[in-house]
Amino acid sequence: MTYVMVIYQGDAQERQAALDEEEQKQVYADYQAINQTPGVTTMPPMGRPDNATTVRVEGGKVLTTDGPFVGMKEAVGGLFILEADDLDAAIEVAARVPAARYGGAVEIRPSEVYW
Amino acid sequence: MVASLQQVFREEWGRVLAILIGFLGDFDLAEEAAQEAFAIAAERWPRDGIPSDPRAWLLRTARNRATDHVRRSRVLSSKLELLATSERQQVPMTGATIPDERLELIFTCCHPALALEAQVALTLRTLGGLTTAEIARAFLVPEPTMAQRLVRAKRKIKAAGIPFRVPPPHLLRERLDAVLAVVYLIFNEGYGGRDELAAEAIWLGRALAQLIPDDPEVRGLLALMLLHDSRRETRFRDGEVVLLGAQDRSKWDTRQIAAGRAELEGALALGGRGPYVLQAAIASLHAETPCDWVQIAALYGELYRLTGSPVVELNRAIAVAETEGPEGGLAILDRLGLDDFRYLHSTRAELLRRLGRTDEARHAYLRARDLTDDGAERRFLERRLTELAT
């Protein structure tokens, strides 16, 4: 199965910034380990949501607003693709994402073809 | 004939459906095929007699139906693939060698990625063989709502890749606890008077104890349900709640109490000391005359250390009030901080009443009543208030 793993930072970035040096190293090491997990395809790292531009088209007119589509706390923080046997295997990988234990979350979305 | 036919259906539905889901990999197709096979059996068996190997007959018929469905289906590409896999897998065709895959099924139905209410509905539908209409009635929701809930759950199992298997050892404890929680929730829904759900939960509990005989919590839950259910007849009189102390003990189901105690003994022999085993031990003591309140209080203490639940502390307070007097119980209650919990206030009221602190008792009963919508329980509190005034 192909899963799109969506990382939400929530409070995680603030909380990680407050960690001591050893713990911060562990966070980086954990992300590195996930990137190297068999079945994982990484995406370019996502920049901060406050640098996002949101685009809508209304009546043919392009409207842009500053910031993410949802609030800063709810904004998507990152994505990766996971090939795994089943949902249990995906949950195990999700649980290793540091954001998930520092107040953020990982959403597991099965990939689906609509056409 | 009719009774035994129903019994065969009851026993076989979950087993046949589990096997079908296992090899078809599709809940809907499996359910449809099983339903058709059971309908054909309902028509033929009364006329021709029950086949010597009903399970194999049902499975063979259901598999043929499934194959027909797949062949007829217009969405060929994916279905053909499905058929190819299912035909590759040899299904053993005699009752004795057909594997029991109900455990795989119940772990799938109670997977934590499904909403709890969906877990409950799916378990009753697939393992218990209740119809959507029956489940809807039991949970007091409109049938289309329940149907939608089942459809959504089955779709998610497939789309999200929820596995059909017994979880590996490192997940087993947690997942088994989730299964037990679903069964106990079904029992408790039934305990308020909807008997068919309580019976259903006990049936599921028995099946689990048969499938996982060496887990003390599985046996403990079965013991707990049997012991509680043995008092079912006496919990209400003319639609009114009757408290344990006032129940007619001659109407308790002694056979069921004995069965519950046997399960409890089994659980204790396995070294069980988990939440269900402790609760069953407490329920067993409650069924004795006179009650050993000292031991009950000690067991609630142990249960509280395991669960940290203030509701358990509330129950300990009741036991302590029986051994040390109402003041001892009140002292525990006043540390709890369960201000929105109606049983806190009704328990306080009862203890205050025993101490003759009538005004405080009245206030507590009023607070409990205002937090209660349920008919019988609310009337019980009203009665207590009237008694207090005279």
CB contact under 8 A, A86 and B111: no
Q: Which of A43-52, B258-267, B372-381 is predicted least confidently?
A: B372-381
CB contact under 8 A, B163 and A85: yes
CB contact under 8 A, B163 and A88: yes
CB contact under 8 A, B160 and A87: yes
**Interface membership of B159 toward A (CB under 8 Å):** yes
> What's the pLDDT at B337?
83
User: DSSP E strands: which ranges in chain B?
Assistant: 236-237, 240-241
Return d(Cα B36, Cα B8) in angstroms, integer: 16
> What's the pLDDT at B77?
56
A-B CB pairs within 8 A amount to 25
Query: pLDDT tens for residues B134-172?
Result: 899 888 899 999 999 999 999 999 999 999 999 999 999
Q: Indicate if the pLDDT at residue B347 is higher than 80.
A: yes
Q: Which two tokens stand for residue B389?
A: 């005034």
CB contact under 8 A, A90 and B161: yes
> What's the pLDDT at B76?
55
Give the Cβ contact number of residue B339 at 10 Å: 9
Instruction: Output the CA–CA distances (angstroms, integers) from residue B122 to B38, B131, B156, B215, in the order listed.
Output: 19, 10, 12, 24
Contacts of B98 (CB under 8 A, 6+ apart): B15, B19, B55, B56, B59, B91, B92
pLDDT category of residue B79 using cuts at 50, 70 and 90: low
CB contact under 8 A, B160 and A88: no
Percent pLDDT > 90 in chain B is 66
Distance from CA of B227 to the nearest CA of A (A): 36
Q: For the sheet with A76-83, list strands across it.
A: A40-42, A76-83, A2-8, A105-110
Contacts of B372 (CB under 8 A, 6+ apart): B342, B378, B381
Determine contact, residues B331/B314, Cβ cutoff 8 Å.
no
What average pLDDT does this structure show over A73-97? 96
CB contact under 8 A, B161 and A91: no
**For chain B, what's the residue count?**
390
Query: pLDDT tens for residues B13-51?
Result: 999 999 999 988 889 999 999 999 999 999 999 999 989
Q: Which residues of B touch A86 (CB under 8 A)?
A: 161-163
**Interface membership of A108 toward B (CB under 8 Å):** yes
Query: pLDDT tens for residues B324-341?
Result: 999 999 999 999 988 889
What average pLDDT does this structure show over B296-315? 95
State the DSSP code for A91: H
> What's the pLDDT at B1?
47
> What's the pLDDT at B390?
73
Q: Indicate if the pLDDT at residue B261 is higher than 90.
A: yes
**Interface membership of B258 toward A (CB under 8 Å):** no
More confident: B5 or B28: B28
Contacts of B330 (CB under 8 A, 6+ apart): B317, B321, B348, B351, B352, B355
**Interface membership of B163 toward A (CB under 8 Å):** yes
Torsion angle of C-alpha atoms B133, B136, B140, B145, degrees rounded to 10: -120
Nearest CA in chain A to B166: A88
Q: Which of B161, B163, B171 sits opposite A110 (nearest CB)?
A: B161
Q: Which two tokens stand for residue B341?
A: 């919990």
Which amino acid is present at A109?
Answer: R
Instruction: Output the CA–CA distances (angstroms, integers) from residue B245 to A40, A64, B238, B248, B349, in the order listed.
Output: 62, 71, 17, 9, 17
CATH class, domain A2-46+71-110, is alpha beta
Q: Indicate if the pLDDT at residue B228 is higher than 50.
A: yes
CB contact under 8 A, B160 and A108: yes
Q: Which two tokens stand for residue B84?
A: 């190819």
**Interface membership of A112 toward B (CB under 8 Å):** yes
pLDDT category of residue B109 using cuts at 50, 70 and 90: very high
pLDDT category of residue B197 using cuts at 50, 70 and 90: confident
CB contact under 8 A, B161 and A1: yes
Percent pLDDT > 70 in chain B is 92
Q: Which of A3, A86, A108 sits opposite B163 (nearest CB)?
A: A86
The full set of domain ranges for chain A reads 2-46+71-110
Which amino acid is present at B327?
Answer: E
Q: Which of A104-113, B36-45, B68-77 is predicted least confidently?
A: B68-77
Q: Residue B330: enclosing H or E segment and its boundaries? A: helix B326-333
Note if the bond before B275 is cis, omega within 30 degrees: no
